[in-house]
Amino acid sequence: MLFSYFDREKLLSKLKAEPFDLLIIGGGITGAGIALDAASRGLKTALIEKNDFAFGTSSRSTKLIHGGLRYLKQLEFGLVKEVGSERAVVHNLAPHLVVPEKMLLPLSEKKSLGYLITSIGLKIYDWLAGVRPEDQRRMLSKLQTLKREPLLRKEDVKGGAIYVEYRTDDARLTIEVCKKAAQQSATVINYVAAKDFVYQNGKVAGVKAVDVLTGEGFQVAAAVIVNAAGPWVDELREINQSKTGKRLHLTKGVHVVLPREKLPVKQAIYFDVDDGRMIFAIPRGRITYVGTTDTNYSGDKNNVTTSKADADYLINAVNLTFPSVNLTIADIESSWAGLRPLIHEEGKSASELSRKDEIFHSPSGLISIAGGKLTGYRKMAERVVDLVIADKFADRQLRGCETQRIKLPGSNFAGRRDIRRFTQKVYTSLKLSGFSEVTARYLVENYGKQAAEIFTNFESRAAQDDPELCLVRAELAFCVKHEMVVTLQDFFVRRTGLINFNIHKLIKWKKHIAEDFKSTFQWSEDRMEREVNALDLLILSVQNFK
């Protein structure tokens, strides 16, 4: 498998030399899913990503593999059924990374739907999604709801419900799917951008690409090209002169991160807001994150940030729902902002737009896919690859879609109990160096069984430095070897999520880690300075709001 920066020359040579059956533009979850599906069916597949994998929306979601309760409100039964039943499939593919999370749905006197309607709605939700009996919804009285979450405004609560969703790390899921595609012989590379298309007899036959790290231009030949560029889908359709009919409608969604002690909710909670929307508060390790907003967006797609209005909206919503917490904007320790690449529908507001995916097949043969959810990535990929095969490879002997059985890297666990045993084993060893169980859980949830390699590396350097630094260094060594890390941000944002979930740790160790990057990749002083400056600017932008 070639999936390290040190394989870059080989990967670039392959891209330049080989005509591919399928070339995918975009290394978010959509492109990654298509690459894995296509490669596992036997298509010669390549994927290029202009930034890092998951740089776009796929590292900025609510990080839930969820059935989409709100889609039930919008009567999108088909969507609820597909994404709902897909949750269990994705959980099985990576049970350490897609973890069941009981969600509390408080019902308020003024805002929510009635108790009976919610009860029936959740029952339909369970039925459509094929939820296992033990995980099916449970309705709660007012007292039971307040016992589950004493921070709720008591006079507002009229009851509640508990139902199950799955928590994940979107960027890590994307990277594991990319890695698995590479294991299935796909040529997968980051920091290569598609700039234009190559045509033969009016049909797309390749792309003009640029190696973003060196500026070198080259061509990649492919029988079929899929545009899975998320919020950038229409830019490529424009270059292809096929942006006719439907178009994208981008909406921004923001999450803010609070220290757990500032918002100590006892479990994940999905609550109503005054404007008719709903918001999640999700505890995760030492923090609780809250989101999301949903506003129309027309700014820079490469630099989406949290505004003061976004932060105020979320802080107000929390203060109204949990009156004793009294949060201020100064309590926010980090944030992230992303764009939903939705399909425009005339006259509909941001929140009303459907989250369904759509495929556009242009007269020049370019296949573009937009809309959709992280949760539905596998089914979206299946539909796209079915279309690719029907269009160009119908006479070829290819395997059918098997991605529902292809476990992601690090997932070889025999059930939840095995994951708990493994976590306990990691914790028992880490405890000796002063780590808490949160660290063991973080390692196992992020890397699964691959955590063993990180731990072995950690042990080999444990005597040298502060144990916390040794562990981050061991993670970096793993990510360099197996996860195509190229920049400081790749590591701190999309491999470890430290910028979101433990920004203090990032700030504490960033200089040391930058030194490791410098020696590993032979960076010049100038390159290192640029990288550190870029990271510092990012830290500023996730903590300060204009």
Q: Say how many C-beta atoms besides its own lie within 10 A of residue 265's C-beta.
A: 24
Count Cβ atoms below 10 Å from residue 546 Cβ, excluding itself.
8
In whole angstroms, the minimum distance from the beta carbon of 64 to ligand FAD comes to 4
Is 190 or 423 the residue whose CB approaches ligand FAD more closely? 190
CB of 150 to ligand FAD, least distance (A): 26
Residue of 384, 400, 411 lying closest to 30 (CA atoms): 384
Q: How far is the CB of 304 from ligand FAD (least distance, A)?
A: 9
Element (H, E) at 47: strand 45-48
What type of residue sits at position 512?
A: H
Distance CA 432, CA 426 (A): 11
Kindly give the interhelix angle for 416-431 and 451-461, rounded to the nearest 10 degrees. Answer: 10
For 411, the 3-state DSSP assignment is coil
Give 371 or 448: the residue with its C-beta nearer to ligand FAD: 371
Which tokens hold the place of 109? 């006197």
Smallest distance, ligand FAD to C-beta of residue 203, A:
19
Q: Which is nearer to ligand FAD, 339 or 513 (CB)?
A: 339
Q: What is residue 341's three-state secondary structure?
A: strand
| Identity of the residue, 261 or 312, whose beta carbon is nearer to ligand FAD in the bound complex | 312
Report in angstroms how near the CB of residue 337 gets to ligand FAD at its nearest.
Answer: 8
Q: CB of 512: closest distance to ligand FAD in angstroms?
A: 28
**Minimum Å distance from CB 427 to ligand FAD?**
28
3-state secondary structure 454-518: HHHHHHHHCCCCCHHHHHHHHHHHHHHHHCCCCCHHHHHHHHCCHHHHCHHHHHHHHHHHHHHHH
The Cα–Cα gap between 29 and 54 comes to 7
One-letter amino acid of 192: V
Nearer to ligand FAD, 247 or 508 (CB): 247
Complex with ligand FAD: residue 294 or 475, whichever CB lies closer: 294
DSSP H stretches of helix in 74-129: 77-93, 115-129
What are the two backbone dihedrals, phi and then psi, of residue 261, each rounded to the nearest 5 degrees? -70, -20
Binding site for ligand FAD (CB under 6 A): 25-31, 48-51, 55-58, 60-64, 66, 193-194, 228-232, 236, 253, 292, 338-341, 372-375
Q: Residue 525, Cβ neighbours under 10 Å: how many? A: 8
In the complex, minimum distance from the CB of residue 465 to ligand FAD, in angstroms, rounded to a whole number: 34
Centroid of chain to Cα 49: 15
Peptide bond into 306 cis (omega under 30): no
Cβ atoms < 10 Å from Cβ of 55 = 24
Q: How far is the CB of 545 from ligand FAD (least distance, A)?
A: 16
Rounded CA separation 149/143 (Å): 10
Beta strands in 184-333 (DSSP E): 187-189, 192-200, 203-211, 217-227, 248-259, 268-272, 278-284, 287-291, 295-296
**Helix residue ranges, H only, 288-436:** 308-321, 377-392, 416-431
CB of 193 to ligand FAD, least distance (A): 4
- Give Dmax (Cα) for the chain: 70
CB of residue 102 vs ligand FAD: minimum separation in angstroms? 16
* Tokens (6 digits) for 45: 């597949």
Residue type, 265: V
CB of 487 to ligand FAD, least distance (A): 13
From the CB of residue 202, how many other CB atoms can be counted at a distance below 10 Å? 9
**How far apart (Å, rounded) are the C-alpha atoms in residues 148 and 469?**
37
Q: Which residues, 6+ apart, have CB-to-CB distance to 413 below 8 Å? A: 95, 96, 419, 422, 448, 449
| Shorter beta-carbon distance to ligand FAD: residue 31 or 409 | 31
Amino acid occupying residue 288 = T
By beta-carbon proximity to ligand FAD, the closer residue of 95 and 231 is 231
Closer residue to ligand FAD (CB): 56 or 467: 56
Indicate the residue among 457 and 487 with the shorter CB distance to ligand FAD: 487
Nearer to ligand FAD, 211 or 437 (CB): 211
